[in-house]
Amino acid sequence: MSEQTTNPVGKSVPRVDAYDKVTGAAAFTDDLQFGPGLLFGRAVRSPYPHALIKRLDVGPALELRGVKAVVTGADTPGFIGLYLKDRHIFCTDRVRYVGDPVAGVVAASEEIAEEAARRVVVEYEELPAVLDPLQAIQPDAPLLHPDLGSYDVVPFIFPQPGTNISNVFRVRKGDVEGAWAQCDAVVADTYRVPHIQHVPIEPHVAIARWDLSGEVTLWSSTQSPFAQRDLIAHTLGISQGDMRVIGNYIGGGFGSKAGVSMEALAVAMARQVPGRPVKVRMTREEEFYCCFVRQGLVARVKIGGTKEGRILALQVEYYWDAGAYTEYGVNITRAAGYSSTGPYNIPNVKTDSYCLYTNHPVGGPMRGFGMPEIHWSIEQSVDQLAEALAIDPVAFRQRNCVQGGDVIVTGMTMHPHGLSECIERVAQRIDWGKKEVPSAPHKRRGKGVAACWKAPAMPPNPGSEAWVRFNEDATVSVGVGGQELGQGAFTVAAQVAAEALGIPYEWVRIANPVDTKYSPYEWQTVASRITWSMGNAVKAAAEDARRQILEIVARYWDQDPGDLDIRGGEVVSSKSEQSLSLRNLVVYGLPLPDDQGWIGGPIIGRGKFMPTYVTGLDPETGQGARAVVHYTTGAQAAEVEVDLETGRVELLCIAAAYDVGKAINPEQVHAQLEGGVVQGASSALLEALTFQDGRPVNASFVDYRIMTAVDAPQRILTDFVEVPQDDGPWGARGVGEHPMIATAPAIANAIYDALGIRFNDLPLTAEKIYLALQGA
């Protein structure tokens, strides 16, 4: 390591790579770990967006040499899902999107499995498809889940049986209808956000083995080892104690590897060949539409304010294109509802957020969890209202942004935060108010700003565990259940442990891979919650170990533990100025005088954290004492230059500032902001999954563009504010998802400033802008 530090919290400890001794070894190699017994699985997938399965004949596949087994929906009749159990592992009676798995083939090689999958005979009866959320909500729309009323569902999700609405979240605050007459300006518009893909570098991959003893092991590229254990075991009717999930380093996740998507296929296939491991790997094409995609959205927004510069009323309707199964996406609808005002104090609010079944791919979690989608409409609407009231957009946001102590949209009292300072900083970074000269006569420059907020979207009781165990030389093994997917979770865990114990960072080793048989529990690595929640558990475990050490040494020295401290790996006394190295004592203990025995022994600290203070919300009004644990707030400002001849947008500068509570690792905070800005800009300018009659037409990197260094902003200026969070480790709160929330609307507002043309639909492609210029 390039930096030595004994007090790492708040220091820029470098992020570690896959081979750093602090965080452990690299991923497994198939040949070394599984040997020649490894089998391969391929899925037979639906070519139709909506159809009944009339006949399924696997005989021709079984006749192919090298084929070991074929799995169908008859083998997996149970339902699976995180919040709403609405899908089978393999389809039973109908398919609901192109790519829905109908059967699984297990063979001696991938090539044989692929050939066998082509030989499975499936006869379908095609049904009318629902391909738009506004169509899905109509009373006469084809019903995609006739049995919706019988599905298991958590208490805070509200399906509407007999419709395509799998969840609805409502907010009723104040008197919206009465407030419109008091407004000096009202603007209303409709916005659309398309499906996009996470496109992780590493596609989904899983290897499962169902032992003859009945024990099941799943090696998975997953953000959710414990959730996968729970959901798959429950669906297949086995004990969670017999289901083991091992999660190695992840080659990119962004939410796509949360919950369960294709991993259950591997387990179901492995059950048919006991004792043999089965590997299932998604092709890049499958990755685009057979795993989670970001949900589409149609947003209708009406907002009004007074000439004094106050937002008085907001009415929003969200229609989520959640795809064929909404077992995870229903909570995106809920999160959108309780955050529907954006980071503004608005006294009168009416929100209706609908999660709608369509025959598109499965909508699920993606970085931001609904917040980039809703802020696309919120932040452009705020800009339009500011213009209608002839108020500067930055000043308008400063005047209306929520403050600590305000009662927000759900009736919760907002905690202290630094949003106002974030807005001020990003405006300063791009010289807000100063008109810049374009680089050529056929180009126009503009500047835009957007603010945002996001809470960890999760159940009210997601827990974290950790343990801290000393080795003989006083190095420390730290057990966590959170996953490392490039965001630096293991680095932060090591820093937190070192700080709380009073030892050098380099003495800490993170026990990995995460293994549900041995690792402490973690709900999921999602929701920007790991630094906060897992960090609290690690801190508690380290403090538990520290307490044990100080009590042992206090007895050995006959002193009060309150007079002792641990610094740099030594116990020191402020009273006697004695010192004692941790080496050996943390395992072997200390001898009592006159050879009268020993005290102490191996030190292991245990810690846990679970928020106990989140309350329920009224299903009709969305009101309650505390809807979420906290919000992370922030802002972005963009400067763009638009080519009038081509429509191409050049990102000259994007400034981003967020209130992180306490930056455990400032370097990683800056890295998160930079990465989030680029991903947000990519979704703003380039990305959209395109469908024709429900069939994906751009499921490859040839036709689906993501941002590269050529397209990225010329300058990315990052900053953070530290207003401590009362329930975070040293005041820290998460910032993993937030940097891509405000990017798209900031760019759109900058384009409007340059051209005077408002764009309501993403992405902001050169073609779309060129055609708008021709129309103008």
HEC letters along 601-642 = CCCEEEEEECCCCCCCCCCCCCCCCCCCCCCEEEEEEEEEEE
CA distance 290 to 308: 51
Burial of 326-348, coded b for 16+ CB within 10 Å and e otherwise, reads: bbbbbbbbbbbbbbbbbbbbbbb
Model-level pTM?
0.96
289 Cβ contact list (under 8 Å, min separation 6): 97, 98, 99, 197, 361, 689, 696, 699
Which tokens is 585 given? 């004592």
Q: How far apart are the first and last CA of the chain?
A: 57
Active-site hit among 674, 687, 737, 767: 737
pLDDT at 520: 98
CA distance 40 to 24: 28
Which tokens is 190 given? 């409709």
Q: Are 164 and 294 in contact (CB under 8 A)?
A: no
Q: With a cut of 50, which residues of the chain have pLDDT below it?
A: 1-7, 14-20, 23-28
pLDDT at 548: 98
Q: What digits encode the pLDDT tens for the residues 93-149?
A: 999 999 999 999 999 999 999 999 999 999 999 999 999 999 999 999 999 999 999
Backbone torsions φ then ψ of 545, nearest 5 degrees: -65, -40
Q: What digits encode the pLDDT tens for the residues 24-57?
A: 434 445 666 898 999 999 999 999 999 999 999 9
Does residue 737 carry a catalytic annotation?
Answer: yes
By C-alpha distance, which of 338, 397, 411 is closest to 369?
Answer: 338
CA distance 506 to 497: 11
Q: Are 465 and 607 in contact (CB under 8 A)?
A: yes
Q: Are 297 and 318 in contact (CB under 8 A)?
A: yes
CA distance 666 to 535: 16
Domains along the chain with CATH numbers: 18-27+462-609 (3.30.365.10), 32-127+202-251+257-289 (3.90.1170.50), 293-402+411-459+615-775 (3.30.365.10)
pLDDT at 15: 41
Q: Are 107 and 294 in contact (CB under 8 A)?
A: no
CA distance 62 to 716: 56
If residue 433 lies in a helix (H) or strand (E), which one and from where to where? none
pLDDT at 5: 37
H-only helix segments in 237-344? 263-271, 284-289, 330-338
Which tokens is 515 given? 């293994």
CA distance 471 to 603: 9
pLDDT at 23: 45
Half-sphere exposure (Cβ direction) of 403: Cα atoms closer than 13 Å: 5
